[in-house]
Chain A
């Protein structure tokens, strides 16, 4: 469904991505893990059209996304849940959800979909008339995911859903994402900093560090976590990033 081929992204002189390639098949849950500043968020932003790749291609079902504006990519069925709970603070919960539905062609199904999403998130129904800015962190994260689901995405990009949330809430968030995948046939590409929770849910895992893919594999093969730990921290191999670059070139 999604194929990223050797993309490079720079912020000014800072090179954030130095040749990332990865694929996501329809219906898969793929997870990017890596430390802060590894390039995970940049990778998702590049897919959603928020930053432009200086080199390489991003293809969605074969179509090159280069030069496509973020809102157009969203209309192609790619929804980004950005890191840091981007709710529309002065709008009510109900209005936040409605904004998620405006780009859809099937207006008739909207009311039923809102009802279904509210059934997934009973907490949001209780706060339906409150301004989103007054919700708790966990509630805001749920609202952002609910709003993203209402855009009827085929590919949902989720940037660090567990950041700053209590473990119990994080479990709820994952339950809902998995449930949404079952119900809507959603494909998921998720960023996380920590690996143990994601190993349970993901089909495949990429470890990113310093703008490179360090490790790729099926979650089942990496289940003991040792290989991930090595790739994540750079143990056991020539630890400098120059050495990594040579490895990649080879």
Chain B
């Protein structure tokens, strides 16, 4: 804020974007270390985590800023995944199976990047049309409407035989997404989410989240701000869907339904809905918990004996972890804070106070 800070423009820029830079650095180190030491299994886990991170960052862009819980964003993941698969699958297969596709998709095969762009655009368009209606609803009514959206997308995609192959899967999606590709898009998602959050649109939206009446009397068009956030977040989630399709290599509509919705929302709640740091922290923590439990489920040899917990402990363990976090930190692990700037005057004062 110009009239307040007395530091140079470069320093205040650094301070403003510090939380973003720190998150990108954490992610880069994580992927770097993972791919250095990594087994194949670790590569897969890492890629899946990064894709989920993009989903959660996308969902956060709406929920965190607008303050309206959305159950529908995995629907945009579905839209994005199919849109990208329509573009990259072998045309001979498409002509045989997906007879309802428009010619430009059916006859041609596009590259990975155009397919991802297409996924973002289609998810954004769907969000624009649907959002124009449901962004007028506040609170729980809006949340239920987003849930209806998820159900509608799922039933359309699991029944539209000639376009989505319905219950038989779309196969032969080129599996080109590994940890570094996912990392690249994750960084992109973080940058987009953070820039939106600190922009005037993000600020007006967060103002309306805190107090709708006061926001309106400050001239904020609350519905329009929500709609902008909804479209941006749907585009991010749509891109994640495209990546997921090109990670799995095979697509069914039920991949993008309740369990994916549950896992991603759990991640966001565990980390804290109020900050981008919360979104990232939640994804990492939940992934670690799930992976550790899965290893023990498979059996861990420990000095002669094998420690093993029964099948299904994974879900129970995750449930318990969530309950504990919600009891002791209802606002999530990060309590809605971003990563603090460590070099400022306030930080120095804090350190001095701790030392004395």
Q: Which residues of A contact B (CB under 8 A)?
A: 48-50, 69-71, 74-75, 79-82, 86-91, 94-96, 98-100, 102-103, 111, 114-115, 118, 125, 128-129, 144, 147-148, 151
B211, chain A: closest CB distance, angstroms: 5
Residues of B within 8 A of A94 (CB): 1, 4
Task: From A50, A102, A111, give the contact of B220 (CB < 8 A).
Answer: A102
A70 to B209, CA, bound (A): 17
By beta carbon, the residue of chain B nearest A115 is B3
Residues of A within 8 A of B219 (CB): 71, 74-75, 102-103, 151
CB of B213 within 8 A of CB of A82, answer yes
CB of B200 within 8 A of CB of A91, answer no
CB of A86 within 8 A of CB of B211, answer yes
CB of A74 within 8 A of CB of B2, answer no
Number of interface residues of B (CB under 8 A): 24
Residues of B within 8 A of A91 (CB): 203, 206-207, 210
CB of B222 within 8 A of CB of A71, answer yes
Residues of A within 8 A of B7 (CB): none
B216: Cβ under 8 A from any A Cβ: yes
B72, chain A: closest CB distance, angstroms: 24
- With A94-B1, A99-B204 already in contact, the answer to whether A74 and B216 are too (CB < 8 A) is yes
Task: From A87, A98, A129, give the contact of B211 (CB < 8 A).
Answer: A87
Q: Which of B1-45 contact A (CB under 8 A)?
A: 1-4
B204, chain A: closest CB distance, angstroms: 6
CB of B207 within 8 A of CB of A88, answer yes
CB of B214 within 8 A of CB of A82, answer yes
A88 to B215, CA, bound (A): 8
CB-based A-B contact count at 8 angstroms = 88
CB of B220 within 8 A of CB of A99, answer yes
B178: Cβ under 8 A from any A Cβ: no
By beta carbon, the residue of chain B nearest A157 is B217
CB of B336 within 8 A of CB of A71, answer no
Top 3 A-B residue pairs of the complex, sorted by shortest distance between their CB atoms: A103-B219, A86-B214, A74-B219
Q: Can you report 15 residue pairs joining A to B where beta carbons are below 8 Å apart? A: A50-B216, A79-B217, A80-B217, A86-B211, A87-B210, A91-B210, A94-B1, A96-B207, A98-B200, A102-B200, A102-B203, A114-B1, A115-B3, A125-B4, A147-B214
CB of B3 within 8 A of CB of A111, answer yes
Most chain A beta carbons < 10 A, residue from B1, B2, B215: B1
CB of B218 within 8 A of CB of A74, answer yes
Task: From A50, A90, A100, A129, give the contact of B218 (CB < 8 A).
Answer: A100
A121, chain B: closest CB distance, angstroms: 13
A95 to B1, CA, bound (A): 8
CB of B213 within 8 A of CB of A128, answer no
A211 to B200, CA, bound (A): 40
Q: A86-B213, A89-B211, A151-B219 are in contact. List 10 more A-B contacts (CB 8 A).
A: A70-B217, A71-B222, A74-B219, A81-B217, A99-B207, A99-B215, A103-B218, A111-B3, A114-B1, A128-B4
